[in-house]
Structure 1
Amino acid sequence: MTPDGPAIRRVRRAQNMSLRTLQQLTGFDRGYLSRMERGQIRRSADHRVRTIADALQVKPAAITQEEKT
């Protein structure tokens, strides 16, 4: 999946969630999450994107750049 970093950041901030909280909910390194939000991670394993979506309580489509058919 192709994560949409700015979308992840928007959703996280809209929920008043810190990056540290997202780290705790996902178990992923805060640096990794920060790089993803800045668009430095172009591809990510599907399970990682799903884990982030679950932590943010949104569908994976809300935080990915996958083309809609």
Structure 2
Amino acid sequence: MRPNGPAQRAIREAQNKSLRLLEHMTGLDRGYLSRIERGLIRHVADPSVQTIADALDVPIEAIIHKEKT
């Protein structure tokens, strides 16, 4: 999946969650989460994206780019 890093960051910040807290909630490395948010990682495994969405309590569609058909 193609993560929408800026959307993920905006949601996280709106919820007043730090990267450190998101790391704790997801079990994913803080540096990895930061690179996703900065758009440096273009493809993320589906389970990781779902884990982030669950931690942010948003539908997965809120933090990914829609695939063009």
In structure 2, the partner of 1:57 is 57
Q: How far off is 1:66 after superposition? A: 1.7
In structure 2, the partner of 1:21 is 21
Q: Cα RMSD (Å) of the superposition?
A: 1.3
Structure 2 residue 10 is matched with structure 1 residue 10:
yes
Structure 2 residue 55 is matched with structure 1 residue 42:
no
Alignment partners' CA distance in 2, 1:44 and 1:67: 14
- Provide the TM-score with structure 1 as the length reference: 0.95
Alignment partners' CA distance in 1, 2:23 and 2:66: 24
Identity level (%): 62
Equivalent AA in structure 2 for residue 4 of structure 1 = N
In structure 1, the partner of 2:31 is 31
- Provide the TM-score with structure 2 as the length reference: 0.95
| Deviation beyond 3 Å, 4+ runs, structure 1 | none
Deviations, residues 6-58 of structure 1 (Å, cap 9, x unaligned): 00000000000000000000000000000000000000000000000000000
Count of residue pairs brought into register by the alignment = 69
